[in-house]
Amino acid sequence: MITFIGHVSKDINVIHGKEETAYGGGVVAGSITAALLGVKAKVVTKCAREDIVHFEFLRENGVEVVFLESNRTTSIENRYGTSPDERESFLISAADPFTEEDLLHVEGKVCHVNPLWYGEFPEELITKLREKVDFLSGDAQGFVRAPENGKLVYRDWRKKEHLRFFDLFKVDIKEAAVLTGTKDLKDACRIIGSFGTRIVLATHSAGVLVFDGEFHEAPFEGWTLEGRTGRGDTCTAAFLVAFLFKGMSVDEATRFAARVTSVKMRHPGPLRRDDVETLSGNQHL
C-alpha cells in the first residue's frame, strides 16, 4: 500500500485565458495513478464536510480515503503561461494543517507527503512519519511554496535539516532552482542528493530526470498544456509503483513513469482507466 497525505483542492485553472474548475490536488493525481496501476492506495486529507461529495470519485477509482474535518477546503487558482513550466498560483482558501494525531491514519510501508502550500504539513511531522514507514517520499511544492498576500511564492527551505529523512524527493525545475540556487537541473539534483535524499526525481517540460548517484532520463511525449496539472504527482506515483512494487530498476522505473505521465498529460484531470488500457495495449505495463 501507498498512503498519500496532503490536501485535496478545488483548482481553478486558467489556460489560454479560459477558466476551468477541477477538483484535484497532488494526492488525487498520485493516488489514482497508483490504484489504476494495480497498487493499493490510500489518501489522508482534509476538507470541509460539504465538499467531500466532490472527491467521491477517488473511491470510484479504487482509492481508500480518510476525510479529516476542516472548516475550509483548500482552493488554488493556477494561471498557466505558454510553457508547462510557467505557472502562477494563488491560494484562495486553505484547509487546516495536519497534526501528529492525523498520522495515525497512515497505513503501509510507503508514504508520499504531498502538501500544496508551506505550513500544510508542519516540518516537525516529518520525523514522526519517518518512524512509521519504510519508504518516505515527499514533494517539494508544499515546502517551498508559501502564501504571500494571496499569491503562492517560492522560497528556500531548511533543506539540510529535513531532506535526509526522505528516500525520494520530487522537484520541478523551478523548485529545484529555489532549493539550490542553480538553474542547471542536473547540478540541482546533485545538490539536493548531497543533503541525504536517496533518490531525486525532477520533472520539466521535456521529461523526467532521476538522480540516485547517477542520472536516468526519459522524455514526455504528446502532452498538452491542458494536461499539465498533476504532471509531477502522476510521474512520482508511477515511479514509486514501478520501483517499489513492480521490481523495476531505477532506469526502468524512470522510463515507465515518463510513459504513464505522457498519456495522462494528453487530457485534463488524473490518469484514466482507458489510459492504462492504452499503455497495456502497447505492452508498456
DSSP secondary structure letters along the chain:
-EEEES--EEEEEEETTEEEEEEE-HHHHHHHHHHHTT--EEEEEEE-GGGGGGGTHHHHTT-EEEEEE-SS-EEEEEEE-SSTT-EEEEEEE-PPPP-GGGGGG--SSEEEE--SSTTSS-THHHHHHHTT-SEEEEETHHHHEEEETTEEEE----HHHHGGG-SEEEEEHHHHHHHHS-S-HHHHHHHHHHTT-SEEEEEETTEEEEESSSEEEEE--S--GGG-TTHHHHHHHHHHIIIIIS---HHHHHHHHHHHHHHHTTSSSS--HHHHHHHHHTT--
CATH of the domain at 44: 3.40.1190.20
Q: Please determine, for residue 215, whether its predicted confidence score (pLDDT) is greater than 80.
A: yes
CA 263 to chain centre: 17
Confidence band (pLDDT; 50, 70, 90) for 13? Answer: confident
> Which pLDDT belongs to residue 282?
65
Per the structure, the count of domains in the chain is: 1
Average pLDDT estimate for 200-209: 96
* Within-domain flag for 52: yes
* Within-domain flag for 149: yes
The pTM of this model reads 0.94
In the chain, what is the straight-line distance between the N-terminal and C-terminal CA atoms, in Å? Answer: 19
* Within-domain flag for 178: yes
> Which pLDDT belongs to residue 120?
98
Answer whether 86's CB lies under 8 Å from 121's CB. Answer: no
Instruction: State pLDDT tens for residues 130-174.
Output: 999 999 999 999 999 999 999 999 999 999 999 999 999 999 999
Mean pLDDT of the chain: 94
Q: How many other CB atoms are found less than 10 A from the CB of residue 13?
A: 21
> Which pLDDT belongs to residue 285?
59
Angle at 225 between CA 222 and CA 227, to 5 degrees: 75
Share of the chain above pLDDT 90, in %: 85
* Within-domain flag for 207: yes
CA 173 to chain centre: 14
Higher pLDDT, 103 or 280: 103
Residues pairing with 68 in the sheet:
46
* Within-domain flag for 285: no
* Within-domain flag for 170: yes
Instruction: State pLDDT tens for residues 58-87.
Output: 999 999 999 999 999 999 998 987 766 678
* Within-domain flag for 98: yes
Phi first, then psi: give them for residue 78, nearest 5 degrees: -110, 125
**Distance of alpha carbon 141 from alpha carbon 57, whole angstroms:** 24
Average pLDDT estimate for 103-111: 97
> Which pLDDT belongs to residue 284?
54
Instruction: State pLDDT tens for residues 230-240.
Output: 899 999 999 99
Burial class (CB in 10 A: 0-12, 13-18, 19+), 247: exposed
Instruction: State pLDDT tens for residues 16-64.
Output: 888 888 899 999 999 999 999 999 999 999 999 999 999 999 999 999 9
Q: How many other CB atoms are found less than 10 A from the CB of residue 17?
A: 6
Amino acid identity, residue 211?
F
> Which pLDDT belongs to residue 283?
53
Q: Look up the domain containing 177 and give its range.
A: 2-280
* Within-domain flag for 215: yes
